[in-house]
Amino acid sequence: MRDVAVVGFAQRQMPEFDGSPTCVELLVPVFKELYEQTGWTRKDVGFWCSGSSDYLAGRSFSFVQAVDAIGVIPPVNESHVEMDLAWAMYEAWIKIQTGEVDTALVYAFGKSSAGVLRRTLALQLEPYTMTPLWPDTVSLAGLQARTGIDAGLWDERAMAEVANRSLTDAEKNEYAIRKGGSSVDELLARPMYADPLRKHDCAPVTDGVAALVLAAGDRAREVRDRPAWLTGIAHNVDPMGMGVRDLTRSPSAQRAGAALDLDGVEVAELHAPFSHQELILRRELGLADDVAVNPSGGALTSNPMFSAGGIRVGEAATRIWSGEASKVLAHATSGPALQQNLVCTLDAATEGAGN
């Protein structure tokens, strides 16, 4: 296996982007920032892969229009996933493993606010018995949250603790669109929204783009003194139906985590768009109490569709670059109620790379 590291990361997030659904206007400055971080031009990028959905954009082939932001004369080696940035990164990681390329820039974009996001996402459900009922994302998360409350696995206070810590940490994150912790009691005094969820238990609708740069071996060392080496990456999926899996658990997250060496993880960026989902993920990944979870504020404070999972990777990688941590974990989710999960470890050392 080749040693591959995350060496670049840029993001833009906002409650409502007043521009085109292809977000080209946001991608151009993000790519510029990455050229500055790496010292590269677009011609140094061996492979490009994007994550997005036409259902968000409300137009067909939106990812093709987004390619304008790259500039494609001469032609570039390019691909797309109808998934989060983290899965675009997975494709790029495999591409680098094949030996065909040494470098990749992966990006994702989404204008969630163009439609009604929680409704649009019903289109990812089973189309015969689920989508026609239009079960919105918040409702499906509410059903999951209550199963854990009823089973005594967590309570509203534990959920509010997650929200309060996230809102407090987000104060240090210039990109977070919701920030400002208060106290658990203050949060619990707020009205119920989608009982059992309060609004602060649910990620805000967020527009935005993000991008990551991957490089193999010496190409990574040329860019950064401390590249964030991808020492392990795995993803798994659970059944779609809400009735045929234990909603208090996320077996796919557990399985992805179990495929990796998580010993010594100091920081974990978990993609939990609902407060109780962080509690599920902590348990499934077996994270100890001294692991710092979501120091960025996490998805509860900004959750741009198709970027937010990859942003977890970027936020985790920055802790390695800065020397703040030596081993970190990043997680991304997709589908209803933590159905699909990707977990990766990033390390300051290459030892064990290419899990």
Partner 1 sequence: MTVAFDYTRSTGPVIGRFLTGLRDGHVVGGRTSAGAVVVPPLEFDPVTHEPTTDFVEVSSVGTVTSWTWVPEPVKDQPFDRPFAFALVTLDGADVPFLHALDVSSPDEVTTGMRVRVRWAAERTGHINDIACFEPVAALDEVEGGAGGPDRARPQPRNEAATEQSRSGDVPAAPVTGVVTRVSLDYDYAASPEESLFYRGLNEGRIMGQRCPTCQKVYIPPRSACPADGTPTEEEVELSQTGTVTTFCIVNVPFLGQKITPPYVSAYVLLDGADIAVLHLILGVPADEVRMGMRVKAVWKPRDEWTFSLENIDHFAPTGEPDAEFDTYKQHL
Residue where the block lists tokens 């494709």: 91
Binder among 36, 94, 119, 171 for partner 1 (CB under 8 A): 119
- Ranges of beta strands (E only) in the chain are 4-14, 47-51, 78-81, 103-111, 205-216, 228-237, 267-269, 292-293, 303-304, 327-334, 340-347
| Closest to 341 in 3D by CA, of 267, 258, 256 | 256
Q: Computed over its alpha carbons, how large is the radius of gyration of the chain? A: 19
Does the protein bind partner 1 through residue 134 (CB under 8 A)? Answer: yes
Length of the chain: 355
Does the protein bind partner 1 through residue 189 (CB under 8 A)? Answer: no
- Span near partner 1 by CB under 8 A; candidates 91-99, 102-110, 135-143, 160-168: 135-143
| Backbone φ, ψ for residue 328 (5° rounding) | -135, 165
Binder among 39, 98, 99, 128 for partner 1 (CB under 8 A): 128
Q: Which is nearer to partner 1, 22 or 301 (CB)?
A: 22
Q: Are strands 47-51 and 78-81 parallel, antiparallel or unpaired?
A: parallel
Does the protein bind partner 1 through residue 131 (CB under 8 A)? Answer: yes
Q: Which is nearer to partner 1, 115 or 354 (CB)?
A: 115
- Span near partner 1 by CB under 8 A; candidates 100-108, 129-137, 157-165, 175-183: 129-137
Q: Distance between CA atoms of 145 and 152, rounded to whole angstroms?
A: 11
CA angle at residue 279 from 276 to 280, to 5 degrees? Answer: 90
Q: Which is nearer to partner 1, 118 or 319 (CB)?
A: 118
Site for partner 1 in 48-77 (CB under 8 A): 55, 58, 65, 67-73
Query: Which residues does 95 contact at the CB level (< 8 Å), separation at least 6?
Result: 46, 47, 49, 79, 101, 104
Contact track, partner 1, 97-116, x by CB under 8 A: ----------------xxxx
Does the protein bind partner 1 through residue 43 (CB under 8 A)? Answer: no
- CB 198, min distance to partner 1, A: 11
Q: Which is nearer to partner 1, 80 or 118 (CB)?
A: 118
Give the number of C-alpha atoms closer than 13 A to the C-alpha of residue 38, restricted to the C-beta side.
Answer: 29
Burial class (CB in 10 A: 0-12, 13-18, 19+), 223: buried
Largest Cα separation within the chain, whole Å, is: 59
Does the protein bind partner 1 through residue 250 (CB under 8 A)? Answer: no
- CB 151, min distance to partner 1, A: 10
- CB 191, min distance to partner 1, A: 10
Query: Residue numbers of the site for partner 1 (CB under 8 A)?
Result: 17-22, 24-25, 27-28, 31, 42, 55, 58, 65, 67-73, 113-116, 118-120, 123, 127-136, 138-147, 150, 192-197, 239, 241-244, 247
